[in-house]
Structure 1
Amino acid sequence: MIATALGQLLGCAPGPTPVPTPTPAFASEEEAFAAAEEVYRAYNDAGNARIRGEAEPNPQIFLAGLALESDIDAQNSLREWGLRASGEATVVTFLGTNASIDDRIAEVTGYVCIDVSELRVLNSDGVDVTPPDRGDIVSQLVQFTGDHSRLRITLESSADEGSC
């Protein structure tokens, strides 16, 4: 208290505390799109590992929100129905479409084209029950939320085939 009063008398009173400017999540849309693609490819690789029966990496570490809930529900349904996946999915392309990067937390959206021609659905007897009308390439609209250190998939839904 005495130091503050003395500082005011001498003209050295502390000014208002500066408010830090939030650091944007990414420096550019291109950087955000590249990070989103990297996350999706790692997620796809983890999904392929899960199909092979490997415990790590768990694909759910790349998910949050509705995407995580959907994955949990899908895994439970597969077990309940006695189904399992076999084979592998491959990311063909990623096209970033929107990136809100000005805040500390970014929102990024993009289309992912996935080659599922080697991915099959098998029943408990090992019989292939993959829908015969499923195409070899599927298109997904994917939303991500986070920053440069922790971008996660928050929503994934089917997109028009024309986006691939």
Structure 2
Amino acid sequence: MIARRSAVLVATVTLAVALSACTPAAAPTPTPSPTGFASKEEAFAAAEATYRAYVDALNKVDLSDPATFEPVYALLDGSALNGSKKELTNLHAELLEKRGVTKVKKINRVNADPETSTVTVNVCLDVTDVDIVDASGSSVVPEGRNDRQLLAIELTKNPSAPRQLVISQSEALSDQPCG
């Protein structure tokens, strides 16, 4: 009887060893990908770079060519994206032309959460040289527009690139000029 148990035990161990050679190696434990920034400084630097890239893309927009809107949209998300799509589509439909360039005068750091990659900055834009004109060349910019505008900008993690930011909200802070 002992010999039979020994034979069964040897057969079981042999089978287990043989089967383990056929099983795939254990999958490596996944390491979490970085989702935040190492510091507030890094988050603010990413926010500033994103906002400046957005203004550069906006300055290159040709309202007669909707394909030029895409680089702007790539830097936006949420309500900022929705608002920009609506505004640029309307300007295009009205056959308006944008002249001049917007300049970033100052970016003030307000808040940054490196873990969630959420950053808030206040931006002073100089739109002195920007005009929107109709087909006859007449300006459609409201009389008395402030040439320097103060905006609160919220940037969040880019869903497709976690260590990059997109502009998710933009709000005028006041009718008072800045900078």
Does TM-score exceed 0.5, indicating one fold?
yes
Structure 1 unmatched ranges of 5 or more:
4-17
Q: Which residue matches 1:151? A: 165
Q: Which residue matches 1:47? A: 58
Code of the aligned partner of 1:35: A
Q: Distance in 2 between matches of 1:22 and 1:79?
A: 40
Code of the aligned partner of 1:48: N
Q: Distance in 2 between matches of 1:20 and 1:64?
A: 27
Please state whether the residue corresponding to 2:74 is helix, strand or coil: helix
Q: Which residue matches 1:99? A: 112
Q: Distance in 2 between matches of 1:29 and 1:137?
A: 27
Contact 1:35 1:151 (8 Å CA) reproduced = yes
Taking a change above 3 Å as real, the CA distance of residues 24 and 72 of structure 1, as seen in their structure-2 partners, is closer
Q: Which residue matches 2:42? A: 31
Q: Deviations over 1:69-93 (max 9, x none)?
A: 1111001221233323211100111
Taking a change above 3 Å as real, the CA distance of residues 100 and 39 of structure 1, as seen in their structure-2 partners, is same
Alignment coverage as a number of residue pairs: 151
Q: Which residue matches 2:153? A: 142
Q: Distance in 2 between matches of 1:31 and 1:123?
A: 42
Aligned equivalent of 2:119, options 105, 108, 113: 108
The alignment's TM-score, normalised by the length of structure 1, stands at 0.78
Q: Distance in 2 between matches of 1:21 and 1:110?
A: 28
Q: Which has the larger radius of gyration?
A: 2
Contact 1:51 1:85 (8 Å CA) reproduced = yes
Runs of 4+ residues over 2 Å off in structure 1? 18-24, 51-57, 79-84, 147-150, 160-164
The alignment's TM-score, normalised by the length of structure 2, stands at 0.72
Structure 2 unmatched ranges of 5 or more:
1-15, 18-28
Residue 130 (structure 1) shift: 1.6
Q: Distance in 2 between matches of 1:92 and 1:130?
A: 21
Taking a change above 3 Å as real, the CA distance of residues 94 and 49 of structure 1, as seen in their structure-2 partners, is same
Contact 2:79 2:168 (8 Å CA) reproduced = yes
Q: Distance in 1 between matches of 2:39 and 2:85?
A: 33
Contact 1:114 1:139 (8 Å CA) reproduced = yes
Q: Which residue matches 1:122? A: 133
Q: Distance in 1 between matches of 2:78 and 2:162?
A: 18
